[in-house]
Structure 1
Amino acid sequence: MHSTKSKSIDKKVPLWLWLLGLMTAIGPLTIDMYLPSFPAISADLQVPQHRVELTVSTYLLGLALSQLFYGPIADRYGRKKPLLGGLMIYMLATIGCALASSVEYLLFFRCIQACGAAAAMVIPRAVIRDQLNTRDSAMAMSMMMLIMGVAPILAPLMGGYLSPVTGWRGLFAVMLFYSAIMFFLAIFRLRETMPPEKAVPLHLRTIAKNYASLLRDRNYMGFSLAGGIGMSGLFAYISVSPTVFINMYGVPQQHFGLFFGLNAFGLIVGSQIGARLLRVHSPLGILRTALTCGCLSILIGLGLALAGMLNLTLLTLTLLGFTTSLGFILPNATALALRDQGHRLGVASALMGCLQFLFGTLSSSIVSSSLADSPVPLFVGLAICTLLALLCGKVLAKPADRYFGG
């Protein structure tokens, strides 16, 4: 399966891409499944709910920093071995989360859990780019979002209905079971995609040089930040969504997943329409249009919130516009950022993921700490994220060729 980038995915989704999508779904599954259980965790561990919300920020921070280590390792030892190692770490940490006797232990094991899950974030992007060109990579990542998007829909629904039966600890057992299936599928169904001759020596100087070069690459940073800062808005929304929907708008805990899932459905719809648009439009054009639309949707929501007119229906619709735009933004921003990074795909994918989750940690922490009895802080945070993403995608990134689709 060593690639010459001659494969095409125009006609059907290959098995290896389905598998990568299922593995990447570990990320949203781990974040979203236990969200409806925040009140139960708070009561069980006898801490305020805002302390429990910190487990989201801790997970995102661990996910951000640990990706920087997987990048160089994947460029040296290939894609499969680091992925299996990461999944093993994830499974062990998930057991620790299920057995945590205090919020401090839960925070610790959530951080370790993120260190394992990071492998499932970095490596699939590199595997796709190993085999496909920019346009097909954008299509592949859009197709992966069909799978990834199902996780945020099903995870809170499952969490809401299972938690009263199994308790919040049982939800971590479900995560363990899913990751074990992915581990064995990776062993038997995923092959190595990095040619041995492309291995990069694991020297600190080489690693530092590669990361420094990426930070100076205007197009790479522009597209990475456009996707990363946009994604950070999604993390801010995820971290406070139980408080907003359940506490502020009175949505029953068992119905929370329906409202949360509707916004995840927007991510799926956007990514699938985007994949079809790639047949006639360039990734760059789709990205910049989607950045503008996402920003407008949030600004409308902010105006309604400030005017005191943001009811549950309008809240859901404005957030739906934002998440739908992300379905167009994320696949194209990722493919464009990795376009010229074939000689260092591991570190390029890792730095991109690190930026996404660092901004996600920052935004979720700020929004969570500033949220009181109004959704205005959420929409202020989302407005800042979407405006910055728009500037990065339209101003910082300056591709030489207008089409930029090859």
Structure 2
Amino acid sequence: MKYTTKQQLNYTLVLGLLASLGPLCTDLYLPALPELANELQTTTASAQLSLTAGLIGLGFGQLIFGTLSDKLGRMRPLLVSLVVLMAASIWCALAPNIGQLIAARVLQGMAGAGGAVLSRAIARDLYSGHELTRFFGLLMLVNGLAPIFAPVLGGVMLTLMDWRGIFFVLAIISTLLLVLSRLRLNETLPPERRNQGGIISMIKSIGSLFGQRQFMGFCLAQGFVGAGMFAYIGASPFVLQDIYQLSPQMFSLCFAVNGIGLVIAAQTSTRLSLRYGELQVLKFGLGIAGCASLLLLLASALHAPLVVLLVALFFSVIVMGIVAPMPHRWRCRIREIMRVALPH
């Protein structure tokens, strides 16, 4: 099906915004974590648990909305996810204690996953070949830039409002996206192409991947490096703001610098893998991860100046950009398995 230039721009704008929902829900309120902990009279660990809760919801939400969108079409699950995201964001903003905030964050993460999953699903319905590759490149750019600018925006917002205001802004964003999606997007998966296999077939297809040793090796490497990445995301607001006395705005800038480094590392990794092979690039990235972790450990143990800690953090974070990109042949393997297990 051919789309006019105006229609393509509409889809690009709306799908790009939908793809940014996950990073926005995770990173927009990071500078406010210390303030949040103080107001709710809770511990640092409990405040960090609100971040973990959102990530757990984000993971399960991708499975839920991905399966529903293949079975029911794209638009109904998308609109439901945005309504739930709006309600969950308001619940976060009004939460009287950390327990309710954590519960609301799980729901918010699940709903935010709808935008991430369905933006890609709709793109696959609309495009193929070079156009699909180009559009996915745009979505990857959005996913790379959103985590960089979200904390900066959150830091600026804290000069105008408290942490609850950030969640109200997320509710407004989800409402606007609900209206845009309803007005600008159409159903892209006709009934005859919908899958009737259900979640059991999906679980079986995912289970078949566990027998792929090289695939699991890449996943474990990404998992361990990713664990360090999310430890940084959860702990850095408290370490840099409470211990080193950085303002929320300065913390946001430090976070943004690391994010820019991660994006550059990811682009460099792709080019290096074409020249030296994916396995060699992976080994190189893991070597940097080990050295950066050792430097970070020494900087913490010796109470090194802030600049040393920031350098160690920088190299610890950019490693994710080197290790995280999934090797192309295993992406193809996943698609092959899913296509066999879940025929349309």
| TM-score category, normalised to shorter length | 0.7 to 0.9
Query: 1:55 deviation in Å?
Result: 0.6
Q: Provide the C-alpha distance between the structure 2 equivalents of 1:27 and 1:202, rounded to a whole number of angstroms.
A: 27
Q: Deviations over 1:306-354 (max 9, x none)?
A: 6627432222223222333323443x31755431333675999xxxxxx
2:289–2:315 Cα contact (<8 Å) kept: no
Query: 1:141 deviation in Å?
Result: 5.1
Q: Which moved more, 1:149-158 or 1:29-38?
A: 149-158
Partner residue, 1:81: 76
Which of 333, 338, 341 is the aligned partner of 2:331?
338
Which of 11, 17, 21 is the aligned partner of 1:22?
17
1:311 has 2:305 as partner: yes
Q: Provide the C-alpha distance between the structure 1 equivalents of 2:183 and 2:333, rounded to a whole number of angstroms.
A: 31
Matches within 5 A, 1:4-403: 16=11, 19-127=14-122, 131=127, 137=133, 143-190=138-185, 194=189, 197-203=192-198, 205-218=200-213, 220-274=215-269, 277=271, 281=275, 284=278, 288=282, 291-292=285-286, 294-302=288-296, 304-305=298-299, 308=302, 310-330=304-324, 332-333=325-326, 336-342=329-335
Equivalent residue letter for 1:313: V
Q: Provide the C-alpha distance between the structure 2 equivalents of 1:347 and 1:62, rounded to a whole number of angstroms.
A: 28
Gaps of 5+ in 1: 3-12, 349-406
Partner residue, 1:357: none
Query: 1:166 deviation in Å?
Result: 1.6
Query: 1:262 deviation in Å?
Result: 1.0
Q: Provide the C-alpha distance between the structure 2 equivalents of 1:35 and 1:132, rounded to a whole number of angstroms.
A: 37
Secondary structure of the corresponding residue to residue 339 of structure 1: helix
Secondary structure of the corresponding residue to residue 338 of structure 1: helix
Q: Provide the C-alpha distance between the structure 2 equivalents of 1:215 and 1:123, rounded to a whole number of angstroms.
A: 25
For CA contacts below 8 A with separation 6 or more, give which structure has more relative contact order. 1
Query: 1:242 deviation in Å?
Result: 0.9
Q: 1:306 to 1:128 in 2, by over 3 A?
A: same
Q: Provide the C-alpha distance between the structure 1 equivalents of 2:178 and 2:220, rounded to a whole number of angstroms.
A: 31
What is the aligned-residue identity percentage? 32
1:142–1:274 Cα contact (<8 Å) kept: no
Query: 1:257 deviation in Å?
Result: 0.6
- Compute the TM-score of the two structures, normalised by the length of structure 1: 0.69
1:76–1:201 Cα contact (<8 Å) kept: yes
Query: 1:259 deviation in Å?
Result: 0.9
Q: Which moved more, 1:86-95 or 1:40-49?
A: 40-49
Q: Provide the C-alpha distance between the structure 2 equivalents of 1:281 and 1:189, rounded to a whole number of angstroms.
A: 42
Q: Which moved more, 1:88-97 or 1:231-240?
A: 231-240
Equivalent residue letter for 2:111: G
* Root mean square deviation, CA, Å: 3.7
Q: Deviations over 1:284-318 (max 9, x none)?
A: 36862663354245234245336627432222223
Q: 1:238 to 1:41 in 2, by over 3 A?
A: same
- Compute the TM-score of the two structures, normalised by the length of structure 2: 0.80
Q: Provide the C-alpha distance between the structure 2 equivalents of 1:329 and 1:17, rounded to a whole number of angstroms.
A: 28
Query: 1:172 deviation in Å?
Result: 0.8
Q: 1:345 to 1:167 in 2, by over 3 A?
A: farther
Equivalent residue letter for 2:315: G
Q: Provide the C-alpha distance between the structure 1 equivalents of 2:279 and 2:287, rounded to a whole number of angstroms.
A: 13
Q: Deviations over 1:199-255 (max 9, x none)?
A: 321445434422322333445544444444433322111010112211232322331
Aligned length: 335
Query: 1:33 deviation in Å?
Result: 1.9
Query: 1:66 deviation in Å?
Result: 2.9
Equivalent residue letter for 1:295: A
Query: 1:92 deviation in Å?
Result: 1.0
Equivalent residue letter for 2:85: Y
Gaps of 5+ in 2: 3-7
Equivalent residue letter for 2:89: T
Q: Provide the C-alpha distance between the structure 2 equivalents of 1:110 and 1:265, rounded to a whole number of angstroms.
A: 27
Partner residue, 2:5: none
Q: Provide the C-alpha distance between the structure 1 equivalents of 2:276 and 2:181, rounded to a whole number of angstroms.
A: 33
Query: 1:93 deviation in Å?
Result: 0.5
Secondary structure of the corresponding residue to residue 143 of structure 2: helix
Q: 1:268 to 1:140 in 2, by over 3 A?
A: farther
Q: Provide the C-alpha distance between the structure 2 equivalents of 1:157 and 1:44, rounded to a whole number of angstroms.
A: 22
Q: Provide the C-alpha distance between the structure 2 equivalents of 1:226 and 1:192, rounded to a whole number of angstroms.
A: 38
Q: Deviations over 1:180-215 (max 9, x none)?
A: 333333334445555755532144543442232233
Secondary structure of the corresponding residue to residue 252 of structure 2: helix
1:146–1:272 Cα contact (<8 Å) kept: no
